[in-house]
Amino acid sequence: MTAFSLEPGQTAWCAELRALAAEQLRPLADKGEPGHVNRPLVAELGRLGLLSRLFTSGALDLCLMRESLAQVCTEAETALALQGLGAHPVHAYGTAAQRAHWLPRVTDGSAVAAFALSEPGAGSDAAALALRADEDGTGWRLTGEKCWISNAPEADLYTVFARTTPDAGARGVTAFLVPADRPGLTGTPLDMLSPHPIGALAFDAVPVTADDVLGEPGHGFRVAMGTLNLFRPSVGAFAVGMAQAALDAALAHTARREAFGGPLKDLQTVAHQVAEMALRTEAARLMVYAAAAAYDEGAADVPRRAAMAKLLATETAQYVVDAAVQLHGARALRRGHLLEHLYREVRAPRIYEGASEVQRAIIAKELYRTAERPEGEVSR
């Protein structure tokens, strides 16, 4: 990839993904029940080889997959992304035994994964986690709650972040791989705006051992941030895909809709609105690609770039979808309309995996850290 465009092979692959989404994934998504895991859809993502690609490709490939699928089938995009988010810590930080047991099942779609970080009192502030991991002589017992967990309570495995050292902030958190059938683990679905399942988890002295630790004890915050640094740009890609779908719908509608003696596109205010939507969408896309490329190259400024990409893209998608609804008028608010669907989908990405305000805090922190570095010092 150059700084400004994709390679022809990447462009062709994106077109292939959009065709697969329209022909094979969209029909399965339409049969799914809102608020529940669509296991046939997850299995089809596995059969098509897209789930295995989550763990064999880089950040840019992940972004291209999420953007392409989101343009046609947001349900397929979300199912793919949640498998990656939930199981990436196993892939990147798990033991050989953990990977051998779970990754084949995740990649063929027979096991559903979830990333359990947020709590009722600790959403974006991951260092404030209160879920306790109390030592019991053979391992730990997990006691507490998780909340706003995608795929809960229907997932088969959870990446769970718990406090193993009290009053130690981010340094006292450990990541655990917790199968859903562990005694003491229960879940409750939450009735949310999002069409995919989101729930709360309750841990009543759930047993875990050293064999369940992901990474090292006390280094769970590193596991969480390493995962989020990869997935934040791809949340931006999801947003760009939705923005592009809304822009395409607006272009088609304003070209054919007659009003005030001609097509809407001939009205200067409409044309300028569409141009602004396209401008912002393309700017967000380029920032997402740049952040993903930086991740793949191992650049030092990935946290800043990832935060910028997620922030710009999700805020842009909100603007573009809202503008498309305005251009369509009341018809866009009818249940089942593409824009009605996107209008509901586009809101949550500005909150999850770090709200927009958190992304601004990360960006500012990274900027000041760089500015305060002595001249000539290289970031490690």
Whether the Cβ atoms of residue 21 and residue 27 lie closer than 8 Å to each other: no
**Annotated catalytic residue: which of 77, 353, 366, 375?**
353
DSSP state of 191: -
Tell me the pairing of strands 198-208 and 185-189. Answer: antiparallel
Q: For residue 260, which phi and psi values (nearest 5 degrees)?
A: 55, 40
Length of the chain: 380
Q: Which of 162, 182, 175, 178 is nearest to 93 (CA)?
A: 175
Phi-psi group of 174: left, alpha or beta (phi > 0 → left; psi -120 to 50 → alpha; rest → beta):
beta
Q: Show the tokens assigned to 216.
A: 């090292």
Instruction: For residue 358, give every residue at least 6 positions away whose Cβ sits within 8 Å of its Cβ, in sequence order, or none.
Output: 124
3-state SS class at 64: helix
Amino acid at 347: R
Q: For residue 222, which phi and psi values (nearest 5 degrees)?
A: -65, -40
Whether the Cβ atoms of residue 304 and residue 291 lie closer than 8 Å to each other: no
Question: Rounded CA gap, 204 and 144, in Å?
Answer: 7
Give the residue ranges of DSSP H helices in the chain: 8-20, 26-30, 39-47, 50-53, 59-72, 74-93, 96-107, 220-256, 268-297, 302-328, 338-345, 356-372
DSSP state of 119: B
Q: Which of 41, 17, 15, 19 is nearest to 28 (CA)?
A: 41
Whether the Cβ atoms of residue 136 and residue 151 lie closer than 8 Å to each other: no
**353 noted as active-site residue:** yes
3-state SS class at 129: coil
DSSP state of 168: -
Please identify every residue annotated as catalytic.
353
